[in-house]
C-alpha cells in the first residue's frame, strides 16, 4: 500500500522571521501517463492533479537564474486553432471574384501535393528512425509549402490588400471570438518580460501583421490590470504585400535560397529561432524555451533548452497527434511538464542544436507551464524516493533514496 508523508517545518531565524520551508514527499505514487493507443480522434492526455494541498513554493529556478527567452509558435499554440482561413478571408473580401478559386479548392490542392510527395518519399514515415531522417523529410516539404502560397498569389487572392486591411481583420477576429488565445498566455508572457526575458513568435503563416494585430487587440482587452506591449514581442513570419500584384513577402528575402526565401518548413523556423535568440536578454545567456504543437515545430523543439509540446484538453488536434507519434517513433521522451526536474532548466550558451535537448515536455496550456517547476510547483516523486524541496535564498531539489517501511 502506498503511503505519503508530508513534512512541513519552519525554523525561526534570529530576527524572528520564518526561515526556509522544508517540504518532503515520501513514496509518492506513480502518476498516470497519457494513453499510448487511444481511439481516433485521440483524446488529450490528462495532467496529474494529485499535488499536495499546499501553496506553490518558490520557483525551482535559482534566484539568480538566467532569464527565459520564450519563443512561441502561432497557429495551434498561441492560438487554439489555425488562423490561415481567416487570413484568406481578407483576400476574398477585397477581391469578391468568382474567378478566384475557393479556399477549399486551394486547400485540397495543397493536400494533393502533400500526399503525392509523401507517397514517393523514402524513407517512409514508418521507416524513419532517427532525428536526422525526420529533419530531412520535413525539409523536403519546402516546394509543397511554397506552391501553396504561390497558388494563392497566382489567383490574385490578396491583390490590393494592405496592412490596414489585415490589422482591422485581426481586431475583428479577436473581438468576435474567432481567434482565441490559449489559456494562460498573458500570464506566462508577462512574467517572462517582467523578469527581464524576451518573447518571440515564429510562424509559417502568411501574415506577421495579422499576428501583431491579434496580439495588440488581445492585450488591450486584458483584465486584472495586467499590461503587455506588443512592441515587446518579436514576430517572425511572412507578410502580405497586397498592392496590385497581390504578392506575399518572403521573410528571408526574394533571393533567399534561390528565390525561395519564405518561412515554409521546420528548418526555416529554426533559422528564425537562431535570429531571435542571437540577442541575449539583459546581455547574458538565457534559457531558450520553445512551445509548439505541430511537425513544423519539430526542429525548434529539439533545438531549444526546453521544448514544450501543446496538447489540447479534450481531443488532440491532428497536428498534435502527428507530433506525438513522431516523438514516439523516434524514441524521444515527452512527459508532462509538471514532472520536470530542475536540471532541465540549464541555459546552453551554444547556438541551438539538436544535441542540446534529449527530451520534450507537454502542456495543455500556458497555465500548465506557469504552474510547473519552471516557476514554482513542486513535483511529486515517480519512484520510491524522498524529494525534498528547500526554498531559501536559492532553490534546489535534492533526492534521497528511501526504503518503504
Nearest to 301 by CA among 333, 340, 255: 333
Q: What is the pTM of this model?
A: 0.77
User: Do 367 and 338 touch, CB atoms closer than 8 A?
Assistant: no
* Helix, strand, or coil (residue 292): strand
The 10s digit of each residue's pLDDT in 377-390 is 534 433 322 232 32
Q: Residue 278 has which C-alpha cell?
A: 542571437
Q: Residue 308 has which C-alpha cell?
A: 514544450
* pLDDT reported for residue 256: 43
Mean pLDDT rounded to a whole number for the chain: 76
Question: In the predicted model, what is the mean pLDDT of residues 86-99?
Answer: 94
User: Do 238 and 207 touch, CB atoms closer than 8 A?
Assistant: yes
* pLDDT reported for residue 109: 96
Angle (deg, nearest 10), helices 84-94 and 208-220 = 110
Going from the C-alpha of 341 to that of each of 16, 120, 306, 373, the distances in angstroms are 33, 42, 11, 7
CB atoms inside a 10 Å sphere around CB 119: 8
The 10s digit of each residue's pLDDT in 146-162 is 888 889 989 999 999 98
The 10s digit of each residue's pLDDT in 22-76 is 333 333 333 333 333 333 446 666 665 544 333 333 344 555 567 899 999 999 9
Q: Residue 229 has which C-alpha cell?
A: 506591449
Nearest to 263 by CA among 109, 151, 142: 142
* Helix, strand, or coil (residue 81): coil
Whether 396 shows a pLDDT value over 80: the answer reads: no
* pLDDT reported for residue 5: 32
Q: Strand pairing partners for 124?
A: none
- Of 400 and 202, the one with more pLDDT: 202
Q: What percent of the chain has pLDDT over 90?
A: 50
* pLDDT reported for residue 54: 33
d(CA 243, CA 16) in angstroms, rounded, equals 70
The 10s digit of each residue's pLDDT in 166-225 is 999 999 999 999 999 999 999 999 999 998 899 999 999 999 999 999 999 999 877 655
* pLDDT reported for residue 240: 87
d(CA 231, CA 215) in angstroms, rounded, equals 10
* pLDDT reported for residue 45: 66
The 10s digit of each residue's pLDDT in 236-246 is 998 887 666 77
Angle at 357 between CA 354 and CA 361, to 5 degrees: 125
Amino acid at each position: 500500500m502506498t503511503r505519503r508523508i508530508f513534512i512541513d517545518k519552519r525554523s525561526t531565524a534570529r530576527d524572528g522571521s520564518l526561515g526556509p520551508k522544508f517540504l518532503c514527499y515520501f513514496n509518492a505514487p506513480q502518476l498516470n501517463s497519457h494513453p499510448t493507443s487511444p481511439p481516433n480522434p485521440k483524446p488529450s492526455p490528462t495532467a496529474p492533479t494529485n499535488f499536495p494541498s499546499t501553496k506553490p513554493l518558490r520557483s525551482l529556478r535559482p534566484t539568480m537564474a538566467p532569464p527565459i527567452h520564450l519563443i512561441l509558435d502561432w497557429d495551434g499554440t498561441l492560438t487554439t486553432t489555425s488562423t490561415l482561413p481567416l487570413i484568406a478571408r481578407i483576400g476574398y473580401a477585397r477581391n469578391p471574384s468568382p474567378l478566384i478559386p475557393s479556399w477549399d479548392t486551394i486547400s485540397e490542392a495543397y493536400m494533393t501535393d502533400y500526399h503525392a510527395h509523401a507517397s514517393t518519399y523514402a524513407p517512409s514515415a514508418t521507416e524513419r528512425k532517427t532525428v536526422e531522417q525526420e529533419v530531412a523529410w520535413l525539409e523536403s516539404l519546402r516546394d509543397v509549402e511554397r506552391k501553396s502560397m504561390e497558388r494563392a498569389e497566382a489567383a490574385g487572392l490578396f491583390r490590393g490588400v494592405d496592412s490596414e486591411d489585415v490589422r482591422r481583420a485581426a481586431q475583428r477576429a479577436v473581438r468576435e471570438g474567432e481567434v482565441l488565445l490559449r489559456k494562460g498566455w498573458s500570464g506566462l508572457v508577462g512574467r517572462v518580460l517582467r523578469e527581464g526575458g524576451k518573447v518571440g513568435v515564429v510562424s509559417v503563416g502568411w501574415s506577421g501583421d495579422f499576428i501583431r494585430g491579434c496580439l495588440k487587440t488581445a492585450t488591450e482587452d486584458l483584465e486584472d490590470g495586467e499590461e503587455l506591449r506588443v512592441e515587446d514581442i518579436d514576430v517572425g513570419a511572412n507578410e502580405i504585400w497586397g498592392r496590385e500584384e497581390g504578392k506575399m513577402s518572403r521573410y528571408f528575402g526574394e533571393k533567399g535560397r534561390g528565390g525561395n526565401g519564405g518561412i515554409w518548413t521546420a528548418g526555416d523556423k529554426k533559422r528564425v529561432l537562431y535570429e531571435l535568440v542571437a540577442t541575449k536578454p539583459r546581455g547574458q545567456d538565457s534559457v531558450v524555451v520553445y512551445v509548439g504543437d505541430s511537425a513544423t515545430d519539430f526542429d525548434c523543439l529539439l533545438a531549444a533548452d526546453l521544448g514544450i509540446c501543446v496538447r489540447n484538453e479534450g481531443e488532440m488536434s491532428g497536428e498534435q497527434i502527428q507530433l506525438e507519434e513522431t516523438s514516439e517513433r523516434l524514441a524521444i521522451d515527452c512527459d508532462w511538464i509538471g514532472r520536470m526536474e530542475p536540471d532541465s532548466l540549464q541555459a546552453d550558451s551554444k547556438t541551438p542544436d539538436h544535441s542540446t535537448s534529449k527530451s520534450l515536455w507537454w502542456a495543455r496550456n500556458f497555465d500548465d507551464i506557469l504552474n510547473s517547476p519552471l516557476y514554482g510547483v513542486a513535483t511529486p516523486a515517480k519512484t520510491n524516493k524522498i524529494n525534498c524541496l528547500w526554498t531559501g535564498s536559492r532553490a534546489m531539489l535534492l533526492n534521497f533514496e528511501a526504503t518503504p517501511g
